[in-house]
Structure 1
C-alpha cells in the first residue's frame, strides 16, 4: 500500500498532522469495526486496510501545531493560509510505528451518518489527490543529477497542486516523465496529476475535458487498483452532471 492510498483510505490530505490522523482513524475504525458490521466481510477488510494505512502514516505525518483545531479531513470554508507541504524524505530509514489506539466500542443505538449533500456538493469537497514522496532512491539506478531533479520536481508539484495550478503541474510532470520514462514513481505522480486536473474540470463543469484527463490517468498507471476505483466514482459524477 503506497502513501497516496493511505491518505485516500483515511480521507486526509497531505497537510494532515498526527492529531488529524488519529481523529480520522478513530472515526473510520468505528464505522468499519466488525462489532458494528457483524458478518460483513467487506467491512472487515475495510477495517484492516484503514488500520494498515494508519500505521503507515504514523511514520511521516508531522505533529499538530499548538493552534491547530480544524482536522485536515474536513475542508474549512475560512480563507486561511494553506499549510506547507510535507517535506520530501529521500532516505528509506523507517521507525517502528506505535500500536494504533483501539477503536471505541460503538453504542448500539448509534446510526451511521447519512449522506445528505447533493452530488455537486460532494464533488467540490473531494480532497485533491497528492503524489507520494520520492522514497525509493536507494535501489534506483538514477544518477545523482536525476535524483535531485526528481526530488525538486516533487516539491514543485506539491506547491502547484496546493495553488490549484493544474496546467503547470501537468506540463511539469509530462516533462519529468520524458526525462525519466522508466521510473514507476514518476508514472504514479503523472496519473495522480491527471486525476487531480480531471476533478478540477468536473468542478468547473468542463465535463468532456474532465473525462479525457481521467482516461489519461488510467492509461498512465493502468495497474493501480485504488486509482481505478476512484476514477470510476469520478465518471459516475460526470454522468450525473449531464
Structure 2
C-alpha cells in the first residue's frame, strides 16, 4: 500500500489535509467497524485496511497547527531578513555561490520531531514484516527530508531488508530490484554495500 492507495481508501484526493484525513477515517471506521458488522468479513477487512491507511498518513501529513507554525516561522524569517536589509545598505552583490540561509529553529525542531516519530513507526513496520508499508513510509520521509543522509540510509536499509525477505519467498526478480534500489539510495555506505553483495551471492546460488 503506497500513499496514493491510502488516500483512495479514505476517499480523499492526494494531499488532503490532516483534518480531512481524520474526519474521513472516523466516518468510514464507523461504517465498517466490526462491532457494527459482526458477521461481515469484507467489512472487517475494509476496516483493517482503513486503519492501516490512516496510521500511515498520520506519520507523513502534518497537523494544521504545525503547518501554521511552519508558515509563521518562514514569514518571521522573511520579515527579519527584510528588516536587516532596511537597516544596512548592501556592500556586496549577492552571488549564486553564497550559501543559502539556514532553516529557522522552529522548522528544524518540527522536522526532527517528524523524523524520529517516523523512524519509530518504520521500525515497527519492519519488525512486523509489513514491508510495503515500511517502504512507503521511508520513501515519503526521504522525499520530505531529501537532504538528510540518515533518512536516505534508513530507506536504503528498508529496501535491503525487503529484498532479503523476497529472496526467502523465492521472488528473485523482485528481490534483485529492491537490492539494487538499496545500493542506489545509499551508494557510499560500505557496510550496506557488503551486505547487499552477500545477498546478491545468495541470489546467484539460487538461480
**What TM-score do you get using the length of structure 2 for normalisation?**
0.48
Per chain length, whose mean CA-contact separation is higher, i.e. which structure has more relative contact order (CA < 8 Å, sep 6+)? 1
Which structure is larger by alpha-carbon Rg, 1 or 2? 2
Greater helix share, 1 or 2? 2
**What TM-score do you get using the length of structure 1 for normalisation?**
0.41
